[in-house]
Amino acid sequence: GAVVSQHPSWVICKSGTSVKIECRSLDFQATTMFWYRQFPKQSLMLMATSNEGSKATYEQGVEKDKFLINHASLTLSTLTVTSAHPEDSSFYICSAPLLGQGRDNYGYTFGSGTRLTVV
């Protein structure tokens, strides 16, 4: 089945540094990738949508200059958390739509997530 590989699975960084998270679609082309953030004991919240070859669109309240998204190829999207602060500590998850037809559309496949801890 369609797999999205997400790396790293966890990262600890110092406050003020930047962290890059990668998501690769392994056996399909992902023209669109969604990025979610999940705080402890809360549900997933959509942060932004990246489209191959164009600028990402961000949800209301998400700082585009802080969360840089690059979708340079059909199989790779990256999220860079710039100048990270402790409040950015969260679980980040990427997802790609599976564009099947009719009921063969399984919706979305998700990466395994990245646990970011900023100290």
Partner 1 sequence: DAKTTQPPSMDCAEGRAANLPCNHSTISGNEYVYWYRQIHSQGPQYIIHGLKNNETNEMASLIITEDRKSSTLILPHATLRDTAVYYCIVRVAGGGADGLTFGKGTHLIIQP
The binding site for partner 1 (CB under 8 A) comprises 4, 6, 32, 34, 36, 43-46, 49, 91, 93, 95, 97-103, 105-113, 115
Here the tokens at position 8 are 């790293």
Find the shortest distance in angstroms from Cβ 5 to partner 1: 11
**Residue number, 6 or 84, with CB nearest to partner 1:** 6
Minimum distance of partner 1 from residue 67's CB (angstroms): 14
Q: Which two structure tokens, joined as six digits, stand for 119?
A: 């100290």
**φ and ψ at residue 103, rounded to 5 degrees:** -80, 0
Alpha carbons 46 and 31: distance in angstroms, whole number: 17
In terms of CB distance, is 82 or 97 closer to partner 1? Answer: 97
